[in-house]
Amino acid sequence: MALLEVKVPDIGDFKEVEIIELLVKPGDTVKAEQSLITVESDKASMEIPSSHAGVVKELKVKVGDKVAEGSLVLMIEVEGSGLLAATRTASEAGGAPVDVLVPDIGDFDEVTVIEVMVKVGDTIQVEQSLITVESDKASMEIPSSHAGAVIEVKVKVGDKVRKGSLVAVVQASGASAAAPAAAAASAPGAAVASVPAPVPATAVAKALPTAALPAHEPSAPKGMLPHASPKIRKLARELGVPLGELNGSGPKARITQADVQGFVKSVMAGATQTRAQAAKAPDAAASGGTFPGLLAWPKVDFSKFGPVERKGMSRIKKISGANLHRNWVLIPHVTNHDDADITDLEAFRVSTNKENERPGAAGIKVTMLAFLIKACMAALKKFPEFNASIDGDQIVFKQYFHIGFAADTPNGLMVPVIKDADKKGIFQISQEMGELAKKARDGKLSPAEMSGGCFSISSLGGIGGRYFTPIINAPEVAILGVCKSSMEPVWDANLNGGAFQPRLMLPLSLSWDHRVIDGAAAARFNAYLGQILGDFRHVLL
């Protein structure tokens, strides 16, 4: 056992580079060639690998530190290991068009092309990686020695190449005259290979500058890097993508640019959650959630402005809040507002209830909501796209009619469901609604009594208001909001000379999912609903 120092090796023309990532911590067991830190200059990022296998005893650097050749990185306890020796050269072909060749890649006779990163027509910069090659010990990227347009790509995935193999032909751009000098000035950008060598008394890690990286197994164990090039890791860092959570689609499960982009798209679309997001999920639900690119929720010390009291959110509020938030964000909502003339219907409801109060009658109170459920039923039958759900790229049209209704409870919003409302009469619906609403208020609703809904109604009619924009209850595609009816003067052109008539008008607000329903259908749905509520005989037509 020996305690050795691992120092920053010769890193080419870079005097000082900044540490942007620590890849190991004290206690980690590292292999020879395993990357220890990532450093970045204004030109390139590179990884400093360990020259020894052993156990990290002490880290001597932190993120943000500036290091140069000879800076102490960490102390490692070794039993026996190898020292890395690195060589580098740059391809400096000149003229236009120019051949870009595989440069000296150290002791590797032949390496396999595992990725071709450019295609004919691409405009490339000096040092831009053209291909990735892999030996049994390391993978490395071969950068271009010239800026310009790619005229020909001379290799494909699976080809074997060696020093001097033709990679591509580049039509050098105006800047190409300076290319050889630029390439030479940034020699670390050229291909580099590393080989094990005997261990000296003091360990000095040799950098694999810019493009080269130690080989990593696809299923990188904890503490080791995922199988991806420095370029991809830099991209991932910039985008905040946790590479360890990606499955590489490249050769040997190597993570490609497309994998990183696909992951970002998937997270943005809500189809994938990072582990960090998943860990934060309960907080996000309680705080109104966070969105990439949006400002964080304001943190305010309210007590600075006056006395406050804090109460935990009820379980129902947390659950319904998270659902409402998802639905509001993911469903493209549109809300149509309309009015229905319920003068005659309300008169019928009141007289029915009076009859029902008589001795010997069933005593069931008929509610306006029960009529609304029945009217919606008829509209759902006429407009099946409102009785549907999205499932992937299919629309599921339901042939059953279960209607949910929002119930206000002391613990928060709940949505019990009246099953098979099309097979039930107004009395039965009124009675079931009363029972379910009581259960909801008493916190006794079973999950089965809240599931299977096709369409929901949210009635604020007993409370007040004119119109509102109800949030669709996913995976349903529409919801009807109802507010308080009021007596209004309605112009009646059929009267002698026309006149205003006092009519009881019910405000309706229909929110619908624009992915499934369009505006014309929504307007027709509301108009039909208005017709039925105006005269229930329309249901029979």
Catalytic residue annotation: 514
**Residue 310 Cα distances to 196, 204, 301, 302, 369, angstroms:** 62, 58, 12, 10, 36
Query: Which H or E element spans position 472?
Result: none
CA-to-CA separations, 256 to 48, 159, 229, in angstroms, rounded: 22, 19, 8
Q: How far apart are CA 401 and CA 421, in angstroms?
A: 6
Q: Report in angstroms how near the CB of residue 211 gets to ligand CAO at its nearest.
A: 57
Query: Least distance (Å) from ligand CAO to the CB of residue 344?
Result: 15
The single-letter DSSP state of residue 121 is T
> What are phi and psi for residue 521, nearest 5 degrees?
-65, -40
- For residues 13, 14, 15, 19, the Cα torsion angle rounded to the nearest 10 degrees is -160
Q: How far is the CB of 511 from ligand CAO (least distance, A)?
A: 11
Pick the closer one to ligand CAO by CB: 300 or 463. 463
Task: Write phi, then psi, for 379 (nearest 5 degrees).
Answer: -65, -35
For ligand CAO, the closer of residues 83 and 433 by Cβ is: 433
Which residue minimizes CB distance to ligand CAO? 461
CA 236/CA 446 separation, integer angstroms:
45
Neighbouring CB atoms inside 10 A of 465's CB total 13
Please report which helix (H) or strand (E) contains residue 344, including its range: helix 343-357
Extract the tokens encoding 283.
């907080």
In the complex, the residues that contact ligand CAO under the rule CB under 6 A are 367-369, 405-408, 413, 437, 458-462, 482, 484-485, 506
* Closer residue to ligand CAO in complex, CB, 246/436: 436
Contact criterion met (CB below 8 Å) for 36 and 223: no
Give CA–CA dist 463/437, Å, rounded. Answer: 16
Shortest Å distance, C-beta 460 to ligand CAO: 5
- In the bound state with ligand CAO, the residue whose beta carbon lies nearer, of 150 and 440, is 440
3 state SS of 53 = coil
Length of the chain: 541
Closer CB to ligand CAO, residue 328 or residue 397? Answer: 328
Smallest distance, ligand CAO to C-beta of residue 224, A: 50
Residue 415 CB, shortest distance to ligand CAO, in Å, is: 8
Q: For ligand CAO, give the closer residue by CB, 89 or 323.
A: 323
> Which alpha helices (DSSP H) does 149-216 contain, by range?
179-185
Let me know: does 510 contact 335? Beta carbons within 8 Å.
yes
